[in-house]
């Protein structure tokens, strides 16, 4: 199926991005690796599914050691942080192209229900962090019929 869009001849002028032209100015110079550190940390992409008892979160974090991943649960808030470490450069090697991000990435989100932090589990396999987040059952909650 093809989507129709209205053509606007001035759209290109409205999207003027001075930062892009600034980056292109230094692309072929030796200063490009230094400008890489100015880039914002990449966001961690997530998939969240739910069943009656728990939430399942799958976070894509490739290239990170499992010891460099931190997960915290507080009420209904989940926070994931990861540190991407740079490999040591060997003697005699010259860097021709460096595009991978090195540094810390962080993602926090809230879920509709409180979570049972004591029963939460996490596993990391093939660059995917999988969190099992059981819902906290509130013993005081009950349904009240309206008369």
Residue 75 domain boundaries: 41-86+100-134
117, 53 contact by CB (below 8 A): no
* Span 64-115, pLDDT tens digits: 999 999 999 998 999 999 999 888 878 888 888 878 778 899 999 999 989 9
Task: Check residue 60 and give its pLDDT.
Answer: 95
CB hemisphere CA count around 145 (13 angstroms) = 1
Give the pTM: 0.64
Task: Check residue 99 and give its pLDDT.
Answer: 80
Asked whether the predicted pLDDT for residue 126 surpasses 90, the reply is yes
Q: What's the domain count of the chain?
A: 1
Tell me, yes or no, whether 75 lies in a domain.
yes
Tell me, yes or no, whether 48 lies in a domain.
yes
Lowest-pLDDT choice from 22-26, 35-39, 127-131, 132-136:
35-39
């Amino acid at each position: 199926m093809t989507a129709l869009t209205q053509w606007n001849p001035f759209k290109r002028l409205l999207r003027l991005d001075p930062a892009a032209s600034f980056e292109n100015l230094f692309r072929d110079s030796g200063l490009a690796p230094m400008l890489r550190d100015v880039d914002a940390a990449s966001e961690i992409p997530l998939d969240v599914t739910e069943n009656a008892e728990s939430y399942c979160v799958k976070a894509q974090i490739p290239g990170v050691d499992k010891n460099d991943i931190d997960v915290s649960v507080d009420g209904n808030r989940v926070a994931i942080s990861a540190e991407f470490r740079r490999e040591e450069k060997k003697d005699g090697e010259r860097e021709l192209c460096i595009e991978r991000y090195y540094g810390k990435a962080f993602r926090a989100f809230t879920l509709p229900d409180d979570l049972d932090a004591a029963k939460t589990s996490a596993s990391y396999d093939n660059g995917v962090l999988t969190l099992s987040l059981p819902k906290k059952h509130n013993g005081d909650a009950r349904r009240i019929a309206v008369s």
